[in-house]
Structure formats: structure tokens, C-alpha cells
Structure 1
Amino acid sequence: MGAPIDPQARARLHHCPAPAKLNLFLHVTGRRADGYHLLQSVFQLIDHGDTLHFDLRGDGRIVRTSDVPGVPAESDLIVRALHALRGEYERRHGRPPPGIDVAIDKRLPMGGGLGGGSSDAATALMAANHLWQAGLSDAELMVLGLPLGADIPFFLFGRTAFAEGVGEALRAVDGPDCWYVVVEPGVSVPTAAIFTAPDLTRNTKPITISDFSRTQDEQDTLSGFGKNDLQDVATRLFPPVAEAVEWLSGYGAARMTGSGACVFCAFSSEQEAERVRKQVPARWKAWKAKALNQHPMKSLLQINEL
């Protein structure tokens, strides 16, 4: 017989990854009557991100135990997501779940276009769904997360995805097998400032999923596909973003991710990515990361089910 299961192991889930995402391209194809922009993009997970730690508590409270500068706990997407899941748990089970403590090792910058807050919230939903034994499927968690943030469903979807609508209509695609160098230009770009700019391109012709997939099959994927329609506005409003794009373009097809500010470029090997990372000017923070095919929380939760 195996060793007895530590009952405390069922009351905590530590070292939970919340990976960043890159928008391999981002097209704005229109605007809905309610003001939301219609997008097309491919979201790519990478192996660099925040790490979260969860511990159940007996008093029913949801407590963020780490300080996040500039983000009060009550407005943190993590806390809001856990409150939403608690409400759904109560509707299904007729009683509240246990309380939960959340600690965060924050690595991703705010206003970087990497989806850090949404990724944290998605990891929190997956972890609490497991610890509380709430019983929601991934699809149900995606519905729960969408009102909180349009990127949350992607992180719950958990693999490279072709996204449409406001970013919630997702279909799995094969992305490039490569490494990225990501440069943080040292500015935080507010999404609203980009989407409300009068000169933002809002009428890019829609593509099909096969357009992207065919490019992956037939061409050098490191040369990139499409463009980021938000980049021209962001580089005009935030000169450090323009400087980072220009510098990194000296090594390949560099572009901004999301609404900015981070800039990335793909490389075929870790060694090549590391060589470029070492040359990034000291005024910027830079790191390398591998493309991921699947969200690492999926494997972690499978292990903890055993």
C-alpha cells in the first residue's frame, strides 16, 4: 500500500502557474453598437508568468495575503473571480464554500499587454474549483470569467487559440514551436487610451482560421502573420514602445502584444533568444520564454487529482 494521504494536502494548492500570453497578431475588424471592438487574434501561452498559492481557511473569507502596488484587493481580478465562483458554488450546493487565502508572486508588469491580471484570475478559478470541489467544467468557468475580463476565457481554454468577437470566441490552432524575447519598455499602457484613440484602425478585413494555419504550414513562422492594429497608436502615444519595437526589429519581426507596452520577437532556439536578450539595452527589462501548447495548470491539477 502507498503512504497515507496528508489531509493538509487537500487544503492547499501552491506554486500554481499563471502564464503570460502573446498576441501573435491582433486585428480590429469592427465595432459593436455597445462600443466594444470586434477583434481577431491568435493567443499564444508562454512559460513566463506569475505564481499563485492557495490555502483554505475556516472562516469563509476570501483574503489576498500579498500586496500588489496600485491594485486594491477589492478590485483585484483574482478576488472578484473567487467571489463569482463562491456565488456559483452557493447556488449549486446550497451552502458557502470554505474561505481561501491567495498569495501572489508577481512577475508580469501591469499595462504590458501580457494578460497578467486575467491569467491570475483564471488560475484562481481553476485552483478554487479544485480545492472547493465545486464541479464546474472549463466551459462553465469560461462563462463565469467572461464578464470580469475578455482574456480570462482564453486562459481557462488553456491552449493556443484563434480568437474572435471581443476575444471570447476561441478555437484551438497550432502555433509556432519557438522561443521569444520579450522587452518591457518601462511604461504602463492603459487599454482604454488605445481603443478610444480616433486614429485607431477599426476596419481591417477579417481573415479565416485557415489563413493563419496555412501560413504556419507554408512559410517561415518566425516572420510573423498579420499585424497588431493597436501598435501604431501605442507607439505614437508612448515613445518607449516605439523605441523597443525599432530596436528589437533589428533581430527579426518584432511587434507589440495586446494594447502594449511589451514587445516581442520569435527565435528558433533558446540559444539564439538568449544571445539577443543579453544585448537588450540596460534601460529595459527583458526575458526569454518558450511557447507553450497547453496551460501548465492543467497538468498540475491532474497530478493533484491522483
Structure 2
Amino acid sequence: MQLQLSAPAKLNLFLHITGQREDGYHELQTLFRLLDYGDTLGFTANRSGEIRLSGSPADIPPQDNLVVRAARLLQRDDFGVDIHLDKRIPAGGGLGGGSSDAATTLLGLNHLWQLGLSSEQLQAIGAQLGADIPVFVAGHTAWAEGIGERLTAVELPEAWYLIMAPDCHVSTAQIFSHRQLTRNTGAITIAAFFEGHTRNDCQSLVRELHPEVDNALNWLGNFGDARLTGTGACVFCEFPGEAQARAVLARLPQGAKGFVARGLNASPVIRELSSYKH
């Protein structure tokens, strides 16, 4: 049996770091917004006992790829699969590409291999690999707390986003371990988010360490509230409609990369899976 599934990108509409735990993980608050832009994964199940991945970026060894690692966490007996990854989400951009690919792998193989695991079980498995994976498994734009695993589904009004991808790679590990990172932001309510009392606590540090991000924020800030997503490097600005976002996209500085995406409340993966019957 074959499956072809989406792996949507996400934005962190804000990111507050409220503390640091004894195990080194940071406590945070954020709002994950899913996008109608992302990667595509194809799955062909077999009984080879092997997990084979094609199309993955060449600089990531298969044993380190989150797609392969996610598949191995579900593998039973002689279950095997050939996975093809069509990559569109910029790596290291704060758009959750690797996490989304891993989540789609968990959802797809749970269906293909008929494992019968619940969404909650798959979220717990995904959390072993990365804090952003559970939100993609749950498949809904969500308010997140803890290390990102405590999720509350949120319905947001329609919005369009212009995302710029500066030509640099931001190390999440470097940002979260940096002594200048703000780690004591007070917790807020969801209502406070809708009143606009938010920011990205990583933004000032990232733009100091990466001039490319600073330049992108300065340029995009001419058109609205430009923000970093996650730890970057991508930055975004919200627009009320597609036409406004595309008009700004057409004015990108020479050599700059970007794209326009619509915000989603529900991931397309759940809908796509429901169309496949065993």
C-alpha cells in the first residue's frame, strides 16, 4: 500500500521563555500556527524489515534524520517501508520542517502498518525525538506550554503570511544555551496574546548574532510587525489577505528568498489520511 501525505510548516506567532528546568530544558509559552506550505512524503510499505529514505538533504545522515528515527520507534517485526521526502521547508529556519516530517511519518506508518495507536500515544512517542513534534501529530494550531508538549487547540481567524528565509543557519542549541538569552518572562494567558502582549524572546539575540536576520527584520518591518519564528532564521509578517502579502513578496530585495502562505487551523494530514482505506 502507498500513501502520499503533507508535512506542513509552522510559525511561532510568539515565543516566551518562562524558565529553565533542572534537566536543561526551557519552559516556554508559544502559539504554533500551521501553514498551507510544506514538505510532501510518500510511503510504500513492505515486509523487508528495512527503512529506506530517499530525497532527504544530503548533509543529514539517514541515522540522524528524524524521519528515519520516527519510523524506527514504530517498527515491528519485519515491517519495512520506502519513504520519499520532497523537501520544500528551509532547514534550520524555525519552521519546524524536520519535526513536521517526523510527525507525518508517525501518522502515516501508524496507518500503513495498522498499529492502532492513538493520537496521544503518537504524540508521546514524538516527544522523545523533539518538543515540536506533538503539535504536528495533534494536527491543529495550538497554544503550547511546558517544553512545547502541553497543547490547547486554538481557532485563529484567516491570515496570510510573508515568510523570508535569510541565507544563514541559526543553531537552536547555541541560542538556548547562550548566556544573554532572556529566560524569565512572566507567563501570560491566551487572552493576553489576543491583546498583543507578546514577543519572541530569542529575537534580539538572534539578530545580534546573525546580521542576515537583522537585515530581514529591518526590511520586513517596513510593512508590519515583523517577527522571528522559533529560534530562526526565518522571519515573517502577517497580512489580512493574499494580495497584500504577494505585493510585498514582489518587492523582496534582489537575492532575498521568501514565500507566501496561508495560516491553517487544521493540518491537511488528518484529512488526507481519512481518504486512504486499507
Q: TM-score range by the shorter chain?
A: over 0.9
Deviation of the 1:303 alpha carbon: 1.1
Structure 2 residue 219 is matched with structure 1 residue 238: no
Instruction: Say which of 9, 12, 28 aligns to 2:2.
Output: 12
Deviation of the 1:109 alpha carbon: 1.3
Aligned to 1:74: 63
2:2 & 2:153 partners in 1: Cα distance?
31
Which runs of no fewer than 5 residues in structure 1 stay unpaired?
1-10, 91-95, 216-223
Structure 2 residue 242 is matched with structure 1 residue 283: no
Structure 2 residue 18 is matched with structure 1 residue 29: yes
Instruction: Say which of 54, 57, 64 aligns to 2:43.
Output: 54
Instruction: Say which of 92, 104, 117 aligns to 2:98.
Output: 117
| Structure 2 counterparts to residues 1-306 of structure 1, below 5 A | 11-14=1-4, 16-86=5-75, 90=76, 96=77, 98-212=79-193, 214-215=194-195, 225-305=197-277
Q: What is the letter of the counterpart of residue 39 of structure 1? A: L
Deviation of the 1:287 alpha carbon: 0.3
Look up the SS of the partner of 1:305 in the other structure.
Answer: coil
2:233 & 2:173 partners in 1: Cα distance?
13
- Deviations along 1:180-204, one digit per CA (max 9) or x if unpaired, are 0000011111101111111111000
Deviation of the 1:211 alpha carbon: 2.3
Q: How many pairs are equivalent? A: 278
Q: Which has the larger radius of gyration?
A: 1
Runs of 4+ in 1 over 4 A off after TM superposition: none
Deviation of the 1:65 alpha carbon: 2.1
1:144 & 1:250 partners in 2: Cα distance?
42
Deviation of the 1:225 alpha carbon: 4.8
Look up the SS of the partner of 2:140 in the other structure.
Answer: coil
Deviation of the 1:173 alpha carbon: 1.3
CA contact (8 A) 1:50 1:106 kept: yes
1:157 & 1:97 partners in 2: Cα distance?
28
Q: What is the letter of the counterpart of residue 202 of structure 1? A: R
Question: TM-score, normalising length from structure 1?
Answer: 0.88
Q: What is the letter of the counterpart of residue 143 of structure 1? A: A
2:118 & 2:198 partners in 1: Cα distance?
33
Aligned to 1:219: none
Q: What is the letter of the counterpart of residue 205 of structure 1? A: G
Of Structure 1 and Structure 2, the greater helix share is in 1
CA contact (8 A) 2:162 2:236 kept: yes
Question: TM-score, normalising length from structure 2?
Answer: 0.97
Identity of aligned residues (%): 48
2:172 & 2:225 partners in 1: Cα distance?
23
Deviation of the 1:97 alpha carbon: 5.1
2:166 & 2:271 partners in 1: Cα distance?
33
1:188 & 1:157 partners in 2: Cα distance?
28
Which runs of no fewer than 5 residues in structure 2 stay unpaired?
none
